[in-house]
Amino acid sequence: MAVKDYIRQRFFPHMWCAGCGHGIILNALLRAVDNLGLNKKNIVMVSGIGCSARISGYVDFHSMHTIHGRALAYATGVKMSKPELNVIVPMGDGDALAIGGNHFIHAARRNIEMTAIVMNNRIYGMTGGQFSPLSGYGSMGTTAPYGNIDHNFDVVDLSVAAGATFVARTTTYHVHELSDLIEQAIVHKGFSVLEVLSQCPTHFGRRNKVGDAVDMLKVYKKRTVRIGSEKKQTDPDLIERGVFVKKDLPEYCREYDQLILKARQNR
Amino acid sequence: MNKNIKFIQGNEVCVEAALYAGLEFFAGYPITPSTEIAEQMASRLPRIGGKFLQMEDEISSLCAITGASLTGHKAMTATSGPGFSLMQEALGYAVMAEIPCVIVNVMRGGPSTGLPTHAGQGDVNQARYGTHGDHAIIALTASNHQDIFRMTVEAFNFAETYRTPVILLLDEATGHLREKIEIPEPGNIPLVKRLRTSVKSGIDYHPYLPREDGRLPMSDFGDEHRYNVTGLYHDMWGFPSDNPKIVYGLIRHLVDKIENNSHQIARFRKHHVKDADVLLISYGASARSALHLVENRRSRGEKLGLLELQTLWPFPVDIVREACNNVKFTVVVEMNMGQVLQQVRLAADMPEKIFLANRIDGELITPTDIRNILRVIQGKGV
């Protein structure tokens, strides 16, 4: 199918700013779904609140645009009650790891099969440029006018520690890699986390004087390397891309099926 | 056929009734005095192929059942005061997105941590006004186990009929009380099934376009029709909209579908109300003491009656007004500082003839407490 067959044209034009990275993620996601040959009626996209969350309206899947931070909690109810559905949960950095941080680590701990995509633009865009838990020390935001003194989470480290069984990272510059990693994350039988560095030229770019969208994409090109690259040894500040964790552990819905069998035997 | 009679806690009755109503999905978080509901669900649901989830908090519990409901399953959560406070935003979402589900709040003494193991009825207003923005809500309650069963089933029926979350306000006293309950035979209480759309695949389905009777047929997530669900104001497809006409139409629909059906939703019991010259109005555990007093004084020839409310929201204004008009005065019996009293005064033609008999110290209000207040009102002294 063509990519346009996966979108709701009625909903366009989208509301993202010119130069925003989120459209690239939408594009890569639809290509991944197409490559996998998934049936649209078997996909549920659940999102929270923020710029990133609007992605669920644009796709022609079952879609749920919920409340701030709780997308994974709604998604858990959807997946548990109908495990045959593919559940994709795109979230912003604040959505996933500030207000939604608790749900994030608990969904990872349960290893429930769903695909969490952290669309990390390091800022609260929709409310106009406040710092997020992924902005990083020293960054500027409307609520950090003298420079941010909050340290950031590392999404990969956090996800691994919380028990996610598939953890990967890439950027909106590396579009083929992005699409490929989304595919891998969807196929993975367990909780998968994909962090995507996504540029916000309007708020992060402007306030931190890192240039326009193209400049920001160039940074992703220059300042990221594949996992295991030798460059990282000489330049430790480089950000690694690729699959950090991929392991086969019992998935929550399948565990619950076993529990049902046990409960029925004990009756 | 042997009757199915049990001697169990009110919380357990609620579980029996939910399963009778066709519950398939429960998510919750432990909190006194509602925990027995979660414990029983953890044991019972998997045996029938249902799902029990212990979530990381009450917020995610309500979110999870809302998600489960969209896949076509009857879903419920149970909590108490502090947990109910945490649920308020997700409650508003279920109201806005019109997703059927049942929220049980076994009330304890508040505010804050308050009195976890004592009875209270302080969440009547929170059930109505807790979430932000104008909206209507259905909240039910019951004073004895047979009625807890009935009202739990009704909660599921109203949730499906009106495509809305329904709140069941129990309290610590009835929740932990053990008494006899006869579990009705299957079919004795009618069940409302999920109304699903008859629109065929490939034809435009409007998830948020009410039929002429006001009901909105649903389509399960996973079925052919793919649509958008949002907490934003939305059009008939579920797409966000800030068009003033659409916004106005939706808020009117959300309020009217419940307020205009308040007579259909009103559940109450009248005990000796017909010839009463003094009326008690009560609900939940307080109504047990009120009823005891009424029976006791009737045997002495005093014309005391009790209107026991089971639907608290939408408030049954006409029923209350009529009952108050036929008596010398009315006493509202409750375990809070007058939350239902306020509504009765608004409903009554002569609010100056409405009085309060309450306890707010965590102890169950007794028939003697009520009688003492009656004597004061009647100028007899205590």
Phi, psi of A72 (to 5 degrees): -65, -30
Does any domain span residue B210? no
One domain for residues B169 and B280: no
One domain for residues B314 and B179: no
pLDDT tens figures, A83-98: 999 999 999 999 999 9
What is the H or E stretch that residue A101 is in? helix A101-110
CB-CB neighbours of A218 under 10 Å: 13
What is the H or E stretch that residue A35 is in? helix A22-36
Could you say which DSSP state residue B128 is in? H
Q: Is B236 left (phi over 0), alpha (psi -120 to 50) or beta?
A: alpha
CA distance A9 to chain B (A): 12
**Torsion sign (Cα): B41, B42, B45, B48:** negative
Q: Residue A175 pLDDT > 90, yes or no?
A: yes
Contacts with A146 (C-beta within 8 Å, 6 or more apart), sequence order? none
Residue ending a domain, choose from B183, B203, B227: B183
Contacts with A237 (C-beta within 8 Å, 6 or more apart), sequence order? A223
CA distance A250 to chain B (A): 17
- The span from the CA of A158 to the CA of A136, in Å, is 15
**Torsion sign (Cα): A126, B71, B314, B105:** negative
Q: Quick check: A162 and A104 in contact, CB under 8 A?
A: yes
Report the candidate in B31, B32, B54 with the shortest Cα–Cα distance to residue B41: B54
Q: Quick check: A99 and A60 in contact, CB under 8 A?
A: no
- The span from the CA of A2 to the CA of B246, in Å, is 33
What is the H or E stretch that residue B74 is in? strand B74-79
Strand boundaries in A180-250, DSSP class E:
191-197, 224-226, 239-246
Which one of B71, B224, B230 has the shortest CB-CB distance to A78? B71
Does any domain span residue B23? yes
Beta carbons of B63 and A74 less than 8 Å apart: yes
Report the candidate in B369, B377, B365 with the shortest Cα–Cα distance to residue B336: B365
First to last CA, chain A: 49
Residue ending a domain, choose from B155, B183, B211: B183
Does any domain span residue B219? no
What is the H or E stretch that residue B43 is in? helix B35-44
What is the H or E stretch that residue B244 is in? helix B244-259
Q: Name the B residues in 228-267 with CB < 8 Å from any A CB.
A: 228-232, 237, 239-240
Q: Quick check: B137 and B127 in contact, CB under 8 A?
A: yes
Could you say which DSSP state residue B360 is in? -
**Once rounded to an integer, what is the mean pLDDT over residues A203-221?**
97
Selected for mutation to probe chain B from A74, A89, A91, A99 (highest B CB count within 10 Å) is A74
Residues of B in contact with A62 (CB under 8 A): 70, 221-222, 226-227
Structure tokens of B224? 């052919």
Does any domain span residue B206? no
Write out chain B's pLDDT in tens, 382 residues.
678 999 999 999 999 999 999 999 999 999 999 999 999 999 999 999 999 999 999 999 999 999 999 999 999 999 999 999 999 999 999 999 999 999 999 999 999 999 999 999 999 999 999 999 999 999 999 999 999 999 999 999 999 999 999 999 999 999 999 999 999 999 999 999 999 999 999 999 999 999 988 899 999 999 999 999 999 999 999 999 999 999 999 999 999 999 999 999 999 999 999 999 999 999 999 999 999 999 999 999 999 999 999 999 999 999 999 999 999 999 999 999 999 999 999 999 999 999 999 999 999 999 999 999 999 999 987 6
Q: Quick check: B303 and B327 in contact, CB under 8 A?
A: no
CA distance B325 to chain A (A): 45
**Torsion sign (Cα): A244, A246, A249, A254:** positive
Q: Is B42 on the interface with A (CB under 8 A)?
A: no
Residues of B in contact with A256 (CB under 8 A): 46, 51
CATH number at B285 reads 3.40.50.920
- The span from the CA of B106 to the CA of B347, in Å, is 27
Q: What's the confidence (pLDDT) of residue B2?
A: 78
How many residues in chain A? 267
Report the candidate in A73, A3, A61, A69 with the shortest Cα–Cα distance to residue A31: A3
- The span from the CA of B142 to the CA of A38, in Å, is 48
Instruction: Indicate the Cα dihedral angle A233, A238, A242, A244, nearest 10°.
Output: 70
Report the candidate in B245, B305, B299, B246 with the shortest Cα–Cα distance to residue B274: B305
Strand boundaries in chain B, DSSP class E:
4-9, 23-28, 51-54, 74-79, 101-109, 115-119, 138-140, 165-171, 178-183, 228-230, 268-271, 278-282, 304-309, 311-313, 329-334, 354-358
Residue ending a domain, choose from B128, B150, B183: B183
Q: Quick check: A59 and A27 in contact, CB under 8 A?
A: no
Q: Residue A36 pLDDT > 90, yes or no?
A: yes
Q: Would you kindly state where each structural domain of chain A is located, as residue ranges? A: 3-266
Q: Residue A266 pLDDT > 80, yes or no?
A: no
Beta carbons of B68 and A56 less than 8 Å apart: no
- The span from the CA of B82 to the CA of B105, in Å, is 10
Instruction: Indicate the Cα dihedral angle B231, B91, A62, A76, nearest 10°.
Output: 130
Residue that is written with structure tokens 């349960």 in the block: A110
Structural domain containing residue B339: 268-377
- The span from the CA of A44 to the CA of A85, in Å, is 7
Does any domain span residue B82? yes
Report the candidate in B294, B283, B292, B307 with the shortest Cα–Cα distance to residue B119: B283
CA distance A211 to chain B (A): 32
CATH topology of domain A3-266: Rossmann fold (3.40.50)
- Complex ipTM tops 0.90: yes
Residues from A contacting B (CB-CB < 8 Å) are: 8, 10-11, 40-42, 44, 46, 56-57, 60-67, 70, 72-82, 84-85, 102-103, 106, 256, 259-260, 262-264, 267
Q: Is B89 on the interface with A (CB under 8 A)?
A: yes
Instruction: Look at chain B and report how many structural domains it folds into.
Output: 2
Q: How would residue A2 be classed by pLDDT, with cut points 50, 70 and 90? A: confident
**Torsion sign (Cα): A193, A195, A200, A204:** positive
**Torsion sign (Cα): B197, B97, B252, B167:** positive
Radius of gyration of chain B (CA): 21
What angle do helix axes B58-70 and A71-81 make, rounded to 10 degrees? 50
Which one of B25, B63, B222 has the shortest CB-CB distance to A73? B63
Q: What's the confidence (pLDDT) of residue B105?
A: 98
Q: Which residue of A has its CA nearest to B76?
A: A77
Does any domain span residue B29? yes
Q: What's the confidence (pLDDT) of residue A267?
A: 63
Q: What's the confidence (pLDDT) of residue B1?
A: 61
